[in-house]
A = this chain, B = another copy of it.
């Protein structure tokens, strides 16, 4: 897999998951007690032997840069290849609307040209999954496809598939039909936004697109030219979520309370890596009352925690009550406060006696460093 380059294409998705993306891009949204969304696809890539990963960012990527650092946590701090964070050239993006991912790629043509890898695998930064991409690459190469698209059989949640495109495949998984308009095709195979293609194909596509004004790799190339291209489809197995809404974010976090999902997502086929931090053990005081919950290190629990996920360094004071909630790093729930169906971003303080209560289908979201 030395000859495969990973590309994580971090799009602007501020509107779909507000508050949590006020100060960070979607790929660096915290998830599952100690992770960031990008950890999943990045670990999938490196566990599969990918040794060069380019992360295309657009804005609000300071926290992403801090998180990724030199890529050491993913063993990507390499002398050759390794991790590249590719921010936009500010002058290319002075227009108010995003000109499409092809222009991002175009601004880094020399980067691609200097890379030795043969194939590229392109993914967004908001997928929660743990994939063995070696098999997918082998499938792509064997099939001789121009593009291999990923798909999900039995798509469970609609929000995981923002393009809502179904597809129909032959016995050997060649794509026979790909919906131009959502809702026109029968079946249960839905497109996932991961593609494999040769670097050569990508470069030619970029050059042509710049000439004829195409902006979006999926919309303006793969979908538009679907009849001219030799497209194959590869199934995504195991746990899968694409974080495209607060609801989906909430539900995917809560899914982790299921031991089977957790074992699968965090360890199979390889471990999910993230940036480690210096936090002591979590301490449970006498009288604490915790069940069906995930807690990262460095928490101090004196109160009650049920069906919840606590990130690193959260304090739950005496008499505080947390239920069905996601509490991010270093937040503090003071004495006798009550938090239910809520998502608290980092360093939120809920004062003594205060109540924060959302609904199961609409968890309340509290922004970073708020004091309530």
Residues of A participating in the B interface, judged by any CB pair closer than 8 Å: 58-62, 65, 69-70, 79, 85-91, 93-96, 278
Contact = CB atoms under 8 A, between A and B. Distances in A.
A70 B247 CA distance: 37
Nearest to A278: B79
A59 B94 contact: no
B70 A89 contact: no
A62 B86 contact: yes
Given A69-B70, A85-B65, A59 B93 contact: no
B90 A62 contact: no
Contacts of A60: 89
A87 B62 CA distance: 7
A151 to B, nearest CB: 33
Contacts of A61: 87
A58 B94 contact: no
Nearest to A14: B91
Contacts of A58: 90
Nearest to A72: B70
Given A70-B70, A87-B87, 17 more contacts: A58-B90, A59-B90, A59-B91, A60-B89, A61-B87, A62-B86, A62-B87, A65-B85, A69-B70, A79-B278, A88-B90, A90-B90, A90-B93, A93-B94, A94-B94, A94-B95, A94-B96
A120 to B, nearest CB: 19
Nearest to A61: B87
Nearest to A90: B59
Contacts of A88: 90
Contacts of A86: 62
Nearest to A107: B62
Contacts of A91: 59
Nearest to A70: B70
A94 B92 CA distance: 10
A333 to B, nearest CB: 22
A52 to B, nearest CB: 14
A103 to B, nearest CB: 14
Contacts of A79: 278
